[in-house]
Amino acid sequence: MYADGLDAIMNISSELAVALAVALPSTILLEAGFFLLTGKRNKKDLMLVILVNVLTNPAVVLIYWLSILYTDIDGIAVKALLEILAVLVEGLYYKQYAQDIRKPFLFSLGANAFSFFAGVLIQLII
């Protein structure tokens, strides 16, 4: 019985590691792509987009997984709340530090919506 529990923990741990390893690079690529698609070219702002996602994405993925595993809260509600918080946190960073992002919260909303829906589409295709 102990071995079954340990196997389950190891399986969850490896799935979480894969989720973290896939989510961050794909989010960075998608949001950097959004940055370029919106006509932005400031290299410091592009670096800010990358760094902001390094801060927020792993936290969002980890909190989502933990809440799904250890609470009865609906996964869609958790995901929605975490995405809203990510938009707000990233928007605050853009407002404070971006040089050429004029509407930081709108940019954050757009970048997050773009990467979220692109991710959903990619998952449907795979």
Q: What is the pLDDT of residue 11?
A: 81
Give the range of the structural domain holding residue 90, as residue numbers without chain letter.
2-125
d(CA 118, CA 6): 35
Predicted TM-score (pTM) of the model is: 0.90
Amino acid identity for residue 29 in this structure: L
Please count the structural domains in the chain.
1
- Express each pLDDT in 74-95 by its tens digit: 999 999 999 999 999 999 999 9
- For tokens 């989510």, name the residue: 23
Q: How confident is the model at residue 10 (pLDDT cuts 50, 70, 90)?
A: confident
Cβ atoms within 10 Å of 89's Cβ, excluding its own: 16
SS3 per residue for the chain:
CHHHHHHHHHHHHHHHHHHHHHHHHHHHHHHHHHHHHCCCCCHHHHHHHHHHHHHHHHHHHHHHHHHHHHCCCCHHHHHHHHHHHHHHHHHHHHHHHCCCCCCHHHHHHHHHHHHHHHHHHHHHHC
